Structure formats: C-alpha cells, structure tokens
Amino acid sequence: MTKISQFSSVFWKRWTFNSLILAVLMLALSWPGSAQIDVPDTFDLRRIQSATVLVMQAQSEGSNLIVKCIGTGTLVSRDGLILTNAHHVVQSEECQGDTIVIAITSNPDEPPTPEFRAEVEQFNSGVDLALLRITRAFDGRLLDRSKLALPFVDLADASSVDLDDTIFVVGYPGIGDNPISVVQGTITAFTAEPSGGERSWLKTSAPIPGTMSGGGAYNRHGKLIGIPTTAPVTNLAFGSNCQPIQDTNGDGSVDENDVCIPVGGFINALRPADFARPLIRAASLRLNVEPLGIGGDFGVVSGIPTFRNLFFSPAVIEGDQPSTVVSSLPTGVDSLYLFFDYENMTPETVYELRVSINGSLSPIFSLAPVRWSGGRNGTWYIGSSGQRWPDGVYEFRLFINGADAGTARITIGGAAEPKPSISNITFGIEDINENILGNGFVLPTGNIAAARFIHRNIPEGSTITYVWYYNGGELRRVDETWNGPADGARTTRIEAVDGLFPGNYRLEIYLDGRLSARSEFVVAGAQEGVLPVVFEQPYFAAADSPADALVSNPITSLTNRVDKLYVVFDWQRIAPGTLWTMRWSVDGNVFFERTLPWNNTESGTGFVTQLFSPEGLPDGTYQMDLFINGFQLATSSLSIGIGQLPIDRFAQAGGIQLRGEIVDGETKQGIPGVTFIMLTEEFSVSDFEWLESQIFAMATTDSSGRFAVDRPLQPEVPYSIIIAAEGYLPISADGVEVSEDGPNPIELYIELTRD
C-alpha cells in the first residue's frame, strides 16, 4: 500500500483508470492555472495561494495512511485554523478516516506536500462547514500553536457582495498532483433556504472542479466571501463522482478495485463566509457548547428520505412560511420559491435542485448537490428574490442522493390578472374583539386556535375548504360557501374539547378545490397571557459537574476565571420531534447555533447545557437564547471578569506584510533555500545566538527565490534582519523599521554575492 509520506517528493502518481474516470480526471487537470488569470492589483494572489491547503482525511492501517476523503481548505488564522467543508473531514459513512493531513504549497507552480496534521476544532454539519486546527507536524511531533506564523486570509462581509461582482476561486483542481488553480467568474444569483435566509448560497458562473470544495472564493480585494461547496454522490452506477488514488488492496495497480475517494462534480454554489464566523469565534476563544442528556441531531431515521407536496409561493413570510400558493406568475416577477415537505433526512443526505426553463437547464437557478441542512422531518423551501425570473415554462426537479425525488412546474409570463387568492396566514389567540394576539407561529396549549388570512377577488358562492393537520395527519376538514366581501381579512378557528396537544399543526385552504394557501404553527408550553411558556427559568451555574449544576444557585456574574459553566432550564408541553434552536453569544457575537428536534420528555426539569474551554473562559458577557420557529422564548446571561472580551480577540492579526525575492547577484536567478530571519526588537544582530526566543519571524525562499514573512510587522518598531545562504555572503542589518503610510505588502528585491 502507498504511504502518504511517500508523496512528499512526488506527491501523487499517475494511474490507469477506466476511460470514464480518466476523462473526468483529465478534465480536472486541464483547468486553468493562476498564470492565466488577470487579477487586480488589490488582489494578493501569492498570499492567498500560500494560505490555501490540501485537506486529506486518512485511515491509519499500521504504518500506512489510506486516504478516504479529499478537499481544499483555507488558513484563516496565523496559529493554524483552517476553514473547509465538514463532509470531507468529519467522520461519516463515506469518510471513515481517523487522521487529517494538511498539505501546503511552497511554490504556486508545484504540487503540495504534506506538512501538518490537524484536528476538527469546530463544525456545523447543517451548513457543511468545519474549522480544523493544526496540532502536529506531519511526522507526529506536537506543535506549539503560539509559535506558528502561517499565512492566512481575512473574511469579507457577504452582504457587500452584489450581482455580477467578479470573484476568484482558489483551490486544488485535481487530487493533489497539480498546483493550485485560480478560476475567475461572477456572482450570478443568491439562493434562499431556511438555513440562512435570502443569501444561504452565492451562485457563481465560475467553473469550479469538485476537489475545490472547501476552498475559497474571493472578491477583488482578496477578501474571502464564500466557500465552494458540493457533496459527492458516490452511489451512482457510473461512479464518476469518486476516484481511486492509492493501491489499497495491494495488487500492484490503482484501479476500480481500490478505495474510491469522493471528489464530486463541478460546483456552482458558495456558502457565504459569514456562515463561518461563529465557528471561527468559537475556535479563536476555544469555546465549546454541549447540550447534555439528548440524542443526536436527528434521532433515529427508520425510513427512506423523501420529498412530497411540492408547490410554489412568490414570497416567504415570518416563520419561514409561504405567503400564498401559485401555479403561474406574470412577467417581471423577481421572487419565487419552491416549498416541499421532507421526511427521514440526515446530515449525510445529499440533495440537488435542477431548474430548466423551456427545457434548457438553468445553472443560475439550479443548486448542485449539497449536504442536507434541515431537520429530519419538516418543511423546506428554495428560491430567490431580487433578481428577475425570465418568462418561460419552468420545471423544478429535486434529487435525493442522485435519485429523482419530485418535480413541479410553473409558468411565468403575460400580464398580471386579478385572480382569486388567499395569503399571509398567521395564527394566535383570539380576544373578545376578534383580534388575533401572539407571535403568530408558536401557540400555547389550549382548546382553541385562530388563523387570520388576507383574501383578494373571491367571488360570491365560491367553495372554500379548511383542512387542519396535526403531526402530519388530518385533524379536521370544513367546507363553506363564500359570502361577504371579495377583498379583506377573515378568521377561521379550530377547537378541541380535550385541548390542542403539543406538536406541529398545519392549515391548508382550498378555493374551489385548488390549494390557495398553506401555513404551519407549533403548539407548545403553558399559556401566559397570549404567549407560550415552553422553556422555564434558565439560569447559569458554576459547578464541577452537571449533577452539581442542578443543585447550584443561579449566578449572573463571576469575578474569577473558570473553565466551564452550565445553563439549566425546565421545560413543559413540548412534543418530541419539535424543532428548537439554541444560540450562544459573547458580547453580542454568536459563536454557537444549532437547530435540533426535541428529543426528551414532553415536560421535565433540569435540562443541562455545558459551556467549556480548555484554556479557561475569557472575560465577557455570555448569553444563551432558546427559539422555536425563529421566535425567542427564553434567555439567560452572565458576565465574567470585566464583562467584555479583551480588545481584538476577534480581530485578525493586523500590520504590514513583508515578502520578496532573493537572487544571485551575477545571474539574477532566484536562490532556493535562503534563510530570512527577523529578530524581536529586544535583540540586535550581535546578540543573536540561534535561540527561538530571539526570533520574531523566519522564512525560507522557495525554488524560485521567493519568500514571505508570515507574521505582520508593526510600524515604527525596530527589527534586526539576518539573511544567510550556503555559498553566499550573509547580509544583516539592525534598526529596520516599516512605515504605516508605506506600501502594504512590502516587496523586497535582494541580491546576494557569492562567497
């Protein structure tokens, strides 16, 4: 079997594939390199290339490491935090490795070489993002992360991205035997989902190979705006979404009988970089949250994943509900969403949307295969607003794990007509004046619930049908003949003598047998006025264990630093399976958010959540919030120390970057292997004794004589520099300063004289 260590000089070998796999590989290897891309002056390509890494998840088998999954990643901190996709680093059915290897590129024109090992520090399977931390050298030596000085990139605010903006995608276009590639494109659309609202995905025209999944997409200023994301479907009969790369069965050849590494197809979607900020905050502060005493995120899935009840709506209202139901729309619409029910989904399920217009596939409105980011069962939507949908006949086709899972069609075009419609259903408790009170989509347990809706152009004598559902089963059906005004608002009600049980409810309204509106609400908690009390009396506790936290007194502040805290709360009348959200923030910055199905008893006491850090919880004001359907139902906060984080704990390291080229004074050719050393301000050249404590930063030139000092310099600080290479006279200098008003980065050109 091939060892990863054997790849350090010639990283990957060429293999013999069947013709189909070979064609896919050659297509990836023919992708344009960075030399063919004309990047703007504001784009620091070399630094971005240096911060781009190849990520491999491998399985230890004796002294061998067998690669299971592969992708691209990006360094986002100088001490070794790497942002990438979760699906190729978190253990799963497809990726069963126990070791993560990081390969870096010293020269952009050369393939990467393994340099480090990393561990998963934070991940969110729901949005398919993970944050790795470099912990060891490739040979297994433990590293002191405080001594690392790696190149990294800064994140941009994804809300600043506009349609038609130029972007540059950086990553590895093949499976490790070729250099970093840069692909240019534009932002073509924004795709909405419940996972993140209107900008859940950034769509791009850039042709991105599947192995760039987990890499970086950048704006013209070199800021990270998104992460290319795809999910390989490896169970397809033709097997084109995976490739064997090692002789894992020991038969002397690499072929279809060896382990097939999932690489995915081409990518057209980016997860906005804003989705990664909570993970980066948590990792930077070494914060971890663990809800104790519950099952997995999805509970037990006993059936096959399915989609059903597909329909369209022109808008999404509060509670992620459709505004109305339509089968056609007039010319000029700029908002359209496909809604559907889902069952038996897991974080490992792959779903895809293909949208065709008049029979032609539209990459703008389609979504390439991605991991599922919803719950186990529920309602989902996908669509967009703010961009015109051209006239035509649209077909939306959904896929689950590569298999057709549902189709819906809609026509756009023609003049707007005053059609009968029902829209904007909201729910609540009705007062004596027939006003609907409450938050609209989470009702307390009781005997009656009311629904208010808007109606337009309803002809007298039309048949209106109300169908109520509880946990997916029909609860009540009422047919009425419409009377009253054609336009306005109306209320309908459902009443149960034995009470409305906790759980999920749905109301469908039909006009003359056609579905016209649909909306859902949750019943949970006891009634306090018109609002539900679901999560009761959450409080912080300082304790040594979860059991101690249950009997500890509530606290709102701590003066001493601790490494763990607990939040305890009681709950009532919440049905198992109900989706709820826990969110944690420090000084107003979210660092943890998960939406889970409730997996506990309907009512109870002493739900415990642990907040901990191996380095001690830093000073700050911490807050935990609990939600259902997006509505905050409980909160608790606590301050530690001075009640705010130390300054710049979230800030990326600032300063002035230094890089350059060192050449032979006679030939003007770059010199590889030159050592460039910068000493801390406390030491001069004459003091230098090759002690690590004296070195501020150190770099080595690559095969072309290029180097980059990966630790930023501070203005007006005197540094000492030593440049040494075998066969050349050394150069040294004391009192070197950089100016805040000068160029950034600074480019040096240094000539050495032969000894």
Q: What is the pLDDT of residue 13?
A: 30
Contacts of residue 26, Cβ cutoff 8 Å, sequence gap at least 6: none
Give residue 185's pLDDT.
93
Give the pLDDT of residue 244: 54
Nearest to 336 by CA among 381, 269, 294, 385: 385
**Residue 668 has which token pair?**
């003007």
More confident residue, 430 or 64: 430
As a whole-number percent, the residues of the chain with pLDDT over 90 amount to 58
Report which of 33, 209, 25 is spatially closest to residue 109, judged by C-alpha positions.
33
The correct answer on CATH 2.60.40.1930 for the domain covering 421-528 is: yes
Q: Is the pLDDT of residue 421 over 80?
A: yes
pLDDT in the model for residue 253: 59
CA–CA separation, 313 and 295 (whole Å)? 35
Which tokens go with 464?
């209106």
CB atoms within 10 A of CB 726: 9
pLDDT, tens digit (0-9, with 9 covering 90-100), for 243-270: 555 555 566 655 555 555 555 556 889 9
Sequence ranges of the chain with CATH classification 2.60.40.1120: 656-752
pTM of the model: 0.81
- CATH placement of domain 4-285: 2.40.10.120
**Cβ proximity of 349 and 235 under 8 Å:** no
Whole-number pLDDT of residue 431: 86
Q: Check residue 260 and give its pLDDT.
A: 53
What was the pLDDT predicted at 22? 30
For residue 494, pLDDT beyond 70: yes
DSSP E strand boundaries for 209-332: 216-218, 224-228, 242-244, 260-262, 267-272, 288-291, 306-313, 316-317, 321-322, 328-329
User: What pLDDT shows up at residue 231?
Assistant: 79
pLDDT at res. 102? 94
Specify whether domain 306-412 bears CATH 3.20.20.70. Answer: no
Does the pLDDT of residue 661 top 50, yes or no?
yes
Q: Which residues pair with 322 in a beta bridge?
A: 316
The model's pLDDT over 111-126, given as tens digits with 9 standing for 90+, comes to 888 999 999 999 998 8
**Per-residue pLDDT, 29:** 33
CA distances for 369 relative to 168, 188, 234, 262, angstroms: 21, 18, 11, 13
Query: What does the pLDDT look like over 686-710, one tens digit per residue?
Result: 999 888 778 888 888 877 888 888 7
The rounded mean pLDDT for the chain is 85
Q: Quick one: pLDDT band at residue 495, thresholds 50, 70, 90?
A: very high
Q: Which part of the chain is CATH 2.60.40.10?
A: 306-412
pLDDT band for 105, please (50, 70, 90 cuts): confident
Where does the pLDDT of residue 524 fall: very low under 50, low under 70, confident under 90, or very high at 90 and above? very high
For residues 453-471, average pLDDT: 96
The residue-averaged pLDDT of 176-201 equals 89
What integer pLDDT is reported at residue 159 of this predicted model? 83
Is the per-residue pLDDT at 6 higher than 50?
A: no
For domain 656-752, the question of CATH label 3.40.1710.10 is answered with: no
- Could you confirm whether domain 534-640 is CATH 1.10.10? no
